[in-house]
């Protein structure tokens, strides 16, 4: 494999800036790698024509420095509208949709000098932590092609693990970039809600459950991409600047709370909790304190609030399409369940869910007065067979919804906390698992600094997929 593909983003852009490496050489390396392995994992979709991409790389080489992503090829998550590139959202409704304009995220990548080469695969409308759809099929785990790469940023996670990308964008409501980071042995960061602006369309205030964020093979590259994506955007209430820095601060003395299975409320497949707790001993070796803590809030209340607000948001976002019988027939069952459940909610139920959310925010604020971060696994089971739609049980405990096996990600999501997903090692059959660190709002830099120290001590992503 071309050694260029193993570089960090920082090393890559330094060589491009010094003209020690050309954008054409970088593009050739990426496209050759996609040709070699993408057919097995199905991570990159809607790939642009090779001749057009090489021509754009040549143009970059001939011109001035374009920015921090000068000449870097990036495939954008297929939930993002990208000008001139087929953008399907994983849905038959948009099977042939080619946008005429970039969404904010794509525009920021271009403005930073990136060359947008195609898309990364997702589930339909990003719903569910398993990346499959009727247009492109399923994305497979690079460490075991018979299993899922997770989702909804599964294509991004698999592309990073396979060295088809240095960095990737993801989005995260219910662990959509944390789950695939953990299952693909890479890193993902869910930013503080409001740090990275959204697409700016429709309603902007009521329910910020999801956010865009970066994925990478190391935390410093995460931070570099976050610096590009963050910042105010005209016409949007969110967006704040973020400066990556060097992430070399000493972490000795930091306190990390381990919530594990939330006092037994969350079932886990065997081995996950032990692996993740063992991963945290790295922080202890670096001078941090890691201690088990009692559940800081009732799990059942978190679940009730989350599922109510999520269904309400889905029903609102998809109201027009649901009203059209032809489009309604295109939705997968899980989306129909969300929409119909959301349509049946009363004002009282929505307000009660928001009140629970507010109570949890207050309780979390008290928790972070003691702890710099809290840790938990990124999923409640190991990557499952790629042919499944979703797991129907967790270690013998039935799952009553399509997403119950991702309950461990909602504490951060519900109140907009920053959360960094890190590789925790490998379990049965060499399948990866991740551990996540959540912190108080605005602690993005502090979490990434913790993750950088962890990465320097572990370097898990250097354990590449054995057969790719």
pLDDT of res. 441: 97
* Catalytic annotation, pick one of 46, 131, 171, 176: 176
pLDDT, averaged across the chain: 97
Q: Is a pLDDT exceeding 90 seen at residue 206?
A: no
pLDDT of res. 238: 80
Q: In this structure, are residues 270 and 264 in contact, taking their beta carbons and an 8 Å threshold?
A: no
Q: How far apart are CA 255 and CA 234, in angstroms?
A: 38
Per residue in 382-405, pLDDT (tens digit) is 999 999 999 999 999 999 999 999
Q: Is a pLDDT exceeding 80 seen at residue 350?
A: yes
Q: Is a pLDDT exceeding 90 seen at residue 204?
A: no
Q: What percent of the chain has pLDDT over 90?
A: 97
Q: Is a pLDDT exceeding 90 seen at residue 203?
A: no
pLDDT of res. 202: 87
Return the CATH architecture of domain 3-462.
Alpha-Beta Complex (3.90)
Helices (H) and strands (E) in the chain, counts: 15, 17
Q: Is 77 a catalytic residue?
A: yes
A 10 A CB-CB count for 397 gives 14
Q: How far apart are CA 457 and CA 450, in angstroms?
A: 11
* Catalytic annotation, pick one of 46, 77, 171, 332: 77
Q: In this structure, are residues 342 and 313 in contact, taking their beta carbons and an 8 Å threshold?
A: yes
Q: Is a pLDDT exceeding 90 seen at residue 65?
A: yes
Residue 76 makes CB contacts below 8 A (sequence gap 6+) with 82, 85, 105, 106, 109, 116, 118, 119, 120, 169
Per residue in 421-434, pLDDT (tens digit) is 999 999 988 999 99
Q: Is a pLDDT exceeding 90 seen at residue 77?
A: yes
A 10 A CB-CB count for 260 gives 20
* Catalytic annotation, pick one of 87, 131, 152, 413: 152
User: Is the bond preceding residue 152 a cis peptide, omega within 30 degrees?
Assistant: yes
Distances (CA, A) of 224 to 32, 93, 229: 25, 34, 9
Q: How far apart are CA 197 and CA 104, in angstroms?
A: 8
Per residue in 16-28, pLDDT (tens digit) is 999 999 999 999 9
Per residue in 284-317, pLDDT (tens digit) is 999 999 999 999 999 999 999 999 999 999 999 9
Reported confidence tier of residue 106, pLDDT bands at 50, 70, 90: very high
Q: What percent of the chain has pLDDT over 70?
A: 100
Query: Is residue 466 packed enough to be buried (19+ CB in 10 Å), middle (13-18) or exposed (0-12)?
Result: exposed
Reported confidence tier of residue 208, pLDDT bands at 50, 70, 90: confident
Q: How far apart are CA 458 and CA 185, in angstroms?
A: 12
Nearest to 171 by CA among 253, 90, 61: 90
Q: Is 176 a catalytic residue?
A: yes
As a whole number, mean pLDDT of residues 333-346 equals 98
- The model scores a pTM over 0.95: yes
3-state helix, strand, coil in the chain (%, to 5): 40, 15, 45
């Amino acid at each position: 494999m071309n050694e260029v593909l193993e570089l960090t983003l920082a090393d890559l852009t330094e060589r491009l800036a010094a003209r020690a490496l050309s954008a054409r050489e970088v593009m050739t390396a990426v496209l050759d790698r996609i040709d070699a392995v993408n057919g097995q994992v199905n991570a990159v979709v809607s790939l642009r024509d090779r001749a057009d991409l090489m021509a754009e790389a040549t143009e970059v080489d001939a011109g001035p420095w374009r920015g921090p992503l000068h000449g870097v090829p990036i495939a954008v998550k297929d939930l993002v509208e990208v000008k001139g590139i087929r953008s399907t959202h994983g849905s038959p409704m948009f099977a042939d949709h080619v946008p005429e304009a970039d969404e904010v995220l794509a525009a920021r990548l271009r403005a930073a000098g990136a060359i947008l080469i195609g898309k990364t695969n997702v589930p339909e409308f990003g719903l569910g932590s398993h990346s499959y759809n009727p247009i492109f099929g399923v994305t497979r785990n690079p460490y075991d092609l018979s299993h899922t790469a997770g989702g909804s940023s599964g294509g991004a996670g698999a592309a990073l693990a396979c060295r088809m990308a240095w960095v990737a964008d993801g989005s995260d409501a219910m662990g959509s970039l944390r789950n695939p980071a953990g299952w693909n042995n890479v890193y993902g960061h869910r930013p503080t809600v409001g740090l990275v602006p959204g697409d700016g369309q429709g309603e902007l205030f009521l329910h910020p459950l999801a956010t865009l964020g970066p994925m990478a093979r190391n935390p410093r590259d995460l931070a570099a991409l976050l610096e590009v994506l963050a910042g105010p955007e005209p016409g949007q209430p969110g967006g704040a600047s973020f400066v990556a820095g060097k992430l070399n601060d000493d972490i000795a003395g930091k306190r990390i709370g381990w919530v594990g299975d939330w006092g037994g409320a969350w079932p886990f497949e065997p081995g996950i909790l032990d692996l993740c707790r063992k991963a945290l001993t790295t922080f202890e070796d670096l001078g941090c304190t890691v201690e088990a803590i009692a559940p800081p809030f009732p799990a059942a209340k978190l679940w009730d609030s989350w599922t109510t607000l999520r269904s309400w948001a889905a029903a609102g976002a998809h109201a027009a399409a649901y009203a059209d019988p032809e489009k309604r027939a295109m939705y997968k069952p899980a989306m129909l369940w969300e929409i119909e459940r959301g349509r049946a909610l009363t004002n009282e139920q929505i307000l009660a869910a928001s009140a629970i959310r507010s109570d949890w925010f207050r309780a979390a604020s008290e928790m972070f007065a003691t702890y710099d971060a809290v840790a938990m696994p990124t999923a409640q089971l190991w990557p499952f067979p790629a042919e499944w739609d979703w797991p129907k049980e967790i270690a013998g405990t039935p799952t009553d919804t399509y997403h119950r096996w991702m309950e461990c990600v909602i504490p951060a999501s519900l109140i907009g906390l920053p959360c960094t997903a890190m590789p925790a090692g490998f379990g049965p059959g060499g399948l990866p698992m991740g551990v996540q660190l959540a912190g108080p709002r605005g602690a993005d830099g502090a979490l990434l600094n913790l993750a950088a120290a962890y990465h320097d001590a572990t370097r898990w992503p250097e354990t590449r997929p054995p057969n790719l």
